[in-house]
Structure 1
Amino acid sequence: MFTPTPMLIRRQRRRTTTLEAICMHECVTPDRWCVTKADLRYLRRQVTEAIQEGQLPSSCMANDSLASSDSEESEESADERKFGPSIYEVTEKYIKPVTADAGKMSWALMQNPEGLDCHLFVSHAWQEGIFEFLSKVLTSWPSGAHNAWCCMLANPQHLNIGSMLQSPKTSPFALALQASRYVLVVPNRHQSVYCRLWCGYEAYVASENEKIIQIAAAPCWISKSWAFIRAMVPILLGVFIGLLAPSPSWHIKATVALMGALATLISAYTANRWRLLANHVGLVASTYLESLGEPFGLTGASPVMWQQAMHRVTWASAISYFLMAELDRVHSLQIEQEGRQLRRRYKGSIQFATCSQQTDQNHIWDEIGGKVSDVDTAIHVLISAGVSSPSLRMAAKRGVKIEGAGHAEVAVPQRKTRTRAVPPAGAGFLRNPK
């Protein structure tokens, strides 16, 4: 009777689990290789533990080909640890070992063996830090989405990924994009994701299927908290002035009210560098008039108590407006920063994008054909407006200015910000495929 050796048993077990993984990915359609928000939070905890145990580096190491002497990037390098190791490193040193032990299926199917409906497609370039990636995706996760398709988690890293990419239109990327409701593009600090041809192809599929493409922005609650704390200075100043001048003349109060109205216009319709000053001036004026508690303008036409109540409500509303406008300003700055990251080294067209595999590049160009300008328009709208929707893309083709159209704000929802519409030229491209 033949008795298998321990080595043979291990080989048989490994071969069996590999076949099971292949069967799993054949039975579950590629568009269902998805993860949840809870999965991404779990991934963050696991990566943190791996860093603490020394299995992963603590910082995101930039590709040498992307090294730059720009002062902006030099300042960013001082905070590398908060971004975490790159997606490349996490894939090689965490995802691959973990999924190999589990049976060589993808990380997504390891977490959800039966698959999940695809609501959100995440497009990214793999060079960003894992914490940078997770924070942007979790912060910008659309409210109507429950599950997301992320390539480094969805694709089985131990199986033959190349065979899945022979035809771009039947690749897992294309199938997941077509099934998704939302597309989220994750900028990074090194270069535009659209320097990669696969990301350009994802923009093509999203445009062809009339998807809404959004920019994933980093959380800015710390900046908003500091903005709120700074806003307390003009508020206290307005109260202090009101206490020093308890009974000003009608002309003084009218002048201060006019200053508040002018600050409202400046805050609503000017660039960010003037909005900070306008918001703080408006807070001083509004708080000063609120602290007086003495209505002016109407006399005898209505009861005094009614006039005082209206006075209180009016200037309390003005204070709330300028506080919200200041928080909007900080949020708008964050969106503009993400737009600058999408412009970095992007030459304005995907025709300059590269792909490490020549066969993949040829197949992608064969499928895109003569629709390069349509893809470029979709990317241009995304960078300029902050969001790329079918209606915005149509408006851009007709010459309508769409700059800042996707900057959602609370204080003045219809306010448009001016941003640079033409991406600057640059150099350097990623050499790694998805």
Structure 2
Amino acid sequence: MSPLIMMLSLATQVASERCEGFSADHCSDPAPLCRRTSYIEACSCSEGYEAQVVRRLNYSRGAPTPWVEFGCCPSESGWVSDCGQEQEAVLTAVGVLLAASLVGILWATIIINCSVPLLPKKTANDASVETLPVTLDGPRLHESVAMSHWCVSLEDLKQFRRLVMHAVKDGRITPTERDKFDPSDLRHGPSMYTVNEQYIKPVTAAAGRVSWALMKHPDGLRCDLFITHAWAEGIFEFVDKVVSCWPRHAAGAYVCFLSNPQNLDIGHLIASPESSPFAQAMQSATQVLVVSNKTCSIYSRLWCVYEAFLAYSWEKPINTARALAPGALARRFRIACVCVASMSAFLLLPAEVLDDVYLSIFRLVSRIVAMSFSLLSLALLGSRGLRISAIHEAAVLGAAVSLGLSFASAIAHETFGMFALRDFLFCVGVATALEIDRQNSLQASKQVEELQRGFTSCHSASCSSSSDAEAIWGQIRESNREAEVEDAVSVLRSMNIFSRELHATVERTGPLGDASMWNRTVVVASIIFFWGSAPIILLGHQEEFSVSNFWLVLLTVLSALEAPTGLGLFAVLPLDRRAFAARAQIIWALFLPTIFIANSAYGFTRWFLQIFALTPLTLAISALGPRRTARIPVLGPCFVRLIFFASVTKCLQKIDKKRRPSSGPELPKPEPDSFSI
């Protein structure tokens, strides 16, 4: 007789000696001993009997489980059940979680559909800018302060937005034939042309014809960030984008309508482009930020092309600014609540539905569905078009629901321990990350479309002054970099980012699509399920830790070092390489079947594969970056194209070429202003 049968027989004998009246009427097993296999399952006995735990079952490594074997004793004997006390507490907690998630879904939906931006209150300092300006000598001040220091701070931009909002509300800034903005719209606002004529010029004239930047900082402010734009965007939209993308350690930014003195003639300052305020500020800046608009491509204006040329020549990293879409945070929260609600609702189903056989089938199906929706959502990143956008949103919702059901079906008969917490964080984290990636993809696609609208070539870019145009093209031709300027602008329009690294990569791989975005889903999944959980799972083998078990100790130590190494590498990389490092995590998905096969093998085969091969490979590729990876013969360019989904994106763009409503109609370009260079 096997040891298991002997133990069951012994347990039955002990139980029968302690009480009588075993009943198998409500048990799943025909044996005298009954079995409870879930925390949400009661220890059920016939009327007049109470459950008595005979023994609790553990995993092979000694970890606890909700499985218990029990008998049923007559309740008349005064016996109080010691089985199933967890059920009420667990079901109560799950019920509270379901109610909270449903309230969260309702609250987020209300915010998404009903919220409007509020008019911020004016501060005392705001009022003093307009009513008690310090009178300065504008012409003299702009001669004494270096042009690279005509900058505004982040707080200056936020204050300027508040002031313009109140000026619009008070009727000091009104719509014109040229700019028919909606005064009640606090998301877009009037264009730079309108704000300049009706607000900046009057306020700075009262301050001594100084620029807004030197009115706020008479001694100047070092330029760390150069902002290039076309004056066609709304002021509120412009500030929101810049604020959301402001570099952490940047002190000042050069913004032409705030940095240049709008009441002075600066024609002599821009007669020579290489010595203009634009060039001086660009040379001082460590980063360039592009602000697109829905009216026209900023590269349809020659001064913006010239700024791109300077940034390329001086190897300045260029990023495209983006702001969170209205209701973005509420949408992310709602997806997380949907995931939690689906898992909670499933755990509250009647016990009959959670039968072992049906549960196993449902668990498999829900995992397949969750993986399918997640992969579909990832494949649709970077796509544009109304129909594909609707499919993408539905895929994220389907992934959230199926991930929740997958977790619930797996935990129904398992213990609520560290592994359950890992799986919970994985499901909710991946669902939320899918929604974040979807939103970022929409914003990036919109930016690409805006940068391409109305653009034909750099040579077709317009300029308000023919002499400026001749001077700019003369400098570019003298440097023999006309082709490089076209290439740089082309890469930026399609990739939302520009750097030497990406330019060299594209030369080997061809177009890659948007490269500014790093994939939150893949990063969250790889960290929680692979890197982050490896030390915890290995520590579960505590009884095997000994001096003689060298490999287990080594695997645990290495896995505990690899995760912070990867996170540290990810934190220090610049934006272009960080996006590549995030995409490189797809290696885990490529080798997932191999990991599953190794996991079913004997011993620590899966961990040897993960810790000695896959993690070092992922870290190495992330450290190499796209340019060096693309140099690997044969496989390098193919791998880079694969992780950027270059071919998939190209196919999706062919499927649906409908323009988004958010992109706006084709509008006539505003006439150039004498100071809007």
TM score, norm. by length of structure 2: 0.54
Amino acid paired to 1:352: S
Which residue is equivalent to 2:331? 226
Distance of 2:511 and 2:182 partners within structure 1: 36
The Cα of 1:62 is off from its aligned counterpart by 5.1
What do residues 160-199 of structure 1 show as CA deviations (whole Å, max 9, x unaligned)? Answer: 2101111000000011111101111111111111111111
1:49 and 2:166 correspond: yes
Q: 1:260 to 1:165 in 2, by over 3 A?
A: same
Distance of 1:362 and 1:94 partners within structure 2: 32
1:240 and 2:349 correspond: no
Are the equivalent residues in 2 in contact too, given 1:351–1:372 (CA < 8 A)? no
Pairing partner for 1:357 from 465, 490, 496: 465
Which residue is equivalent to 1:280? 397
Pairing partner for 2:644 from 401, 406, 416: 416
Are the equivalent residues in 2 in contact too, given 1:85–1:129 (CA < 8 A)? yes
Which residue is equivalent to 1:264? 374
What do residues 242-262 of structure 1 show as CA deviations (whole Å, max 9, x unaligned)? Answer: 433333332331222222233
For structure 2, the 5+ residue unaligned runs are 1-134, 523-581, 584-642, 660-665
Q: 1:81 to 1:42 in 2, by over 3 A?
A: closer
Distance of 2:184 and 2:443 partners within structure 1: 17
Which residue is equivalent to 1:100? 205
Distance of 1:153 and 1:281 partners within structure 2: 47
SS at match of 1:119: strand
Q: 1:387 to 1:79 in 2, by over 3 A?
A: farther
Which residue is equivalent to 1:147? 252
Are the equivalent residues in 2 in contact too, given 1:30–1:175 (CA < 8 A)? yes
Distance of 2:370 and 2:299 partners within structure 1: 44
Are the equivalent residues in 2 in contact too, given 1:106–1:153 (CA < 8 A)? yes
Q: 1:336 to 1:378 in 2, by over 3 A?
A: same
Are the equivalent residues in 2 in contact too, given 1:286–1:316 (CA < 8 A)? no
Distance of 2:265 and 2:401 partners within structure 1: 64
Pairing partner for 2:286 from 166, 181, 198: 181
Q: 1:79 to 1:344 in 2, by over 3 A?
A: farther
Distance of 2:159 and 2:424 partners within structure 1: 46
1:168 and 2:273 correspond: yes
The Cα of 1:230 is off from its aligned counterpart by 5.1
Are the equivalent residues in 1 in contact too, given 2:366–2:402 (CA < 8 A)? yes
The Cα of 1:269 is off from its aligned counterpart by 3.2
Pairing partner for 2:441 from 307, 332, 352: 332
Are the equivalent residues in 1 in contact too, given 2:165–2:186 (CA < 8 A)? no
Are the equivalent residues in 2 in contact too, given 1:293–1:311 (CA < 8 A)? no
Distance of 2:329 and 2:644 partners within structure 1: 20
Aligned counterparts, 1:28-427, within 5 A: 28-57=145-174, 82-220=187-325, 222-229=327-334, 232-233=337-338, 235-244=340-349, 245-247=353-355, 248-271=358-381, 273=388, 274-292=391-409, 294=411, 305=415, 309-347=418-456, 349-369=457-477, 370-412=480-522, 413-414=582-583, 416=644, 418=649
The Cα of 1:427 is off from its aligned counterpart by 9.5
Distance of 1:310 and 1:21 partners within structure 2: 66
Distance of 1:335 and 1:78 partners within structure 2: 28
Amino acid paired to 1:142: P
The Cα of 1:399 is off from its aligned counterpart by 4.2
Pairing partner for 2:138 from 21, 24, 27: 21
Distance of 2:516 and 2:504 partners within structure 1: 15
Distance of 1:197 and 1:410 partners within structure 2: 36
Are the equivalent residues in 2 in contact too, given 1:354–1:430 (CA < 8 A)? no
Distance of 2:515 and 2:494 partners within structure 1: 8
Distance of 1:121 and 1:324 partners within structure 2: 31
Q: 1:39 to 1:77 in 2, by over 3 A?
A: closer
Are the equivalent residues in 2 in contact too, given 1:287–1:319 (CA < 8 A)? yes
Are the equivalent residues in 1 in contact too, given 2:183–2:189 (CA < 8 A)? no
Distance of 2:177 and 2:405 partners within structure 1: 51
What do residues 103-162 of structure 1 show as CA deviations (whole Å, max 9, x unaligned)? Answer: 111110010000011000010111211112111111121223221000011111222210
TM score, norm. by length of structure 1: 0.82
Amino acid paired to 1:396: V
Are the equivalent residues in 1 in contact too, given 2:213–2:258 (CA < 8 A)? yes
Are the equivalent residues in 1 in contact too, given 2:148–2:280 (CA < 8 A)? yes
SS at match of 1:318: helix
Higher relative contact order (CA 8 A, sep 6+): 1
SS at match of 1:249: helix
SS at match of 2:366: helix
What do residues 315-338 of structure 1 show as CA deviations (whole Å, max 9, x unaligned)? Answer: 431221121111221122112112
Distance of 1:267 and 1:207 partners within structure 2: 34
The Cα of 1:311 is off from its aligned counterpart by 4.1
Q: 1:259 to 1:293 in 2, by over 3 A?
A: closer
Q: 1:130 to 1:312 in 2, by over 3 A?
A: closer
Amino acid paired to 1:36: S
Are the equivalent residues in 1 in contact too, given 2:269–2:277 (CA < 8 A)? yes
- Taking only the aligned residue pairs, the percentage that are identical comes to 32
Which residue is equivalent to 2:94? none
Equivalent pairs counted in the alignment come to: 394
Amino acid paired to 1:225: A
Distance of 1:152 and 1:354 partners within structure 2: 19
Q: 1:124 to 1:294 in 2, by over 3 A?
A: closer
SS at match of 1:162: coil
